[in-house]
């Protein structure tokens, strides 16, 4: 009787450990927002589709160590030379273009070198469709942006949640 009770206590202690992983998950249509250790991420395609092939996807990243929303834009393999600098142009139909410097971290992925400004985020929130086009390329991707205001709010909620958890 004593051994099973101690085993049960050990299991309870492990499961209630103060270092437990804090997680956040939100999904609305094709958009998903989730937390990792020090980041919150949002993606415009179902996670199941991108787990092995993130190609042609648009990610918003809120890194707690560098507050603000950055962009990861994934295209087709071989689209870029790793280390090459680009501008990522976010082109709303009939709206003001947002241009953010980026670098190819993979042969198919660009990561912006700075977070978006508050004005740029406000422009994104007004869009229904967004064209993501790297400078000096002949290709782009279209992103359904109708749910972007809610996604950006959830991304902020996720970052606030992680920030509060880290303070405890």
Nearest to 59, CA basis, from 70, 69, 68, 72: 72
For position 6, what pLDDT does the model report? Answer: 43
Residues 55, 75 contacting (CB under 8 angstroms): yes
For position 50, what pLDDT does the model report? Answer: 86
Nearest to 114, CA basis, from 57, 68, 47: 68
Nearest to 129, CA basis, from 148, 155, 112: 148
For position 51, what pLDDT does the model report? Answer: 82
Nearest to 53, CA basis, from 45, 41, 61: 45
Does domain 22-167 correspond to CATH entry 2.60.40.1880?
yes
Q: CA-to-CA distance for 49 and 27, rounded, in angstroms?
A: 14
Count CB-CB contacts under 10 A for residue 38.
Answer: 14
For position 10, what pLDDT does the model report? Answer: 37
Domain ranges of the chain: 22-167
For position 166, what pLDDT does the model report? Answer: 79
For position 49, what pLDDT does the model report? Answer: 86
For position 48, what pLDDT does the model report? Answer: 85
Residues 41, 33 contacting (CB under 8 angstroms): yes
The structure's pTM equals 0.84
Q: CA-to-CA distance for 82 and 105, rounded, in angstroms?
A: 5
From first to last of its 168 residues, what are the pLDDT tens digits of the chain? 555 444 444 344 444 444 456 699 999 999 999 999 999 999 999 888 888 889 999 999 999 988 899 999 999 999 999 999 999 999 988 778 999 999 999 999 999 999 999 999 999 999 999 999 999 999 999 999 999 999 999 999 999 999 888 787
For position 96, what pLDDT does the model report? Answer: 86
For position 11, what pLDDT does the model report? Answer: 43
In residues, how long is the chain? Answer: 168
Distances (CA, A) of 135 to 10, 28, 57, 123: 56, 30, 17, 20
């Amino acid at each position: 009787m004593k051994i099973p009770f101690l085993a049960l206590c050990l299991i309870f202690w492990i499961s209630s450990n103060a270092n437990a992983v804090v997680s956040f998950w939100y999904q609305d249509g094709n958009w998903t927002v989730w937390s990792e250790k020090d980041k919150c991420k949002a993606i415009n395609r179902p996670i199941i589709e991108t787990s092995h092939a993130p190609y042609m996807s648009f990610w918003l990243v809120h890194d707690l160590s560098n507050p603000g929303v950055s962009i990861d834009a994934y295209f087709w393999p071989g689209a870029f030379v790793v280390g090459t600098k680009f501008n990522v142009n976010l082109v709303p139909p009939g709206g003001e273009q947002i241009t953010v410097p980026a670098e190819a971290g993979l042969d198919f992925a660009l990561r912006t070198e700075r977070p978006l400004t508050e004005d740029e985020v406000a422009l994104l929130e007004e869009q229904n469709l967004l064209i993501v086009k790297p400078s000096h390329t002949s290709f782009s991707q279209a992103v359904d942006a109708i749910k972007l205001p809610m996604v950006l709010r959830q991304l902020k909620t996720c970052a606030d949640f992680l920030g509060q958890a880290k303070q405890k």
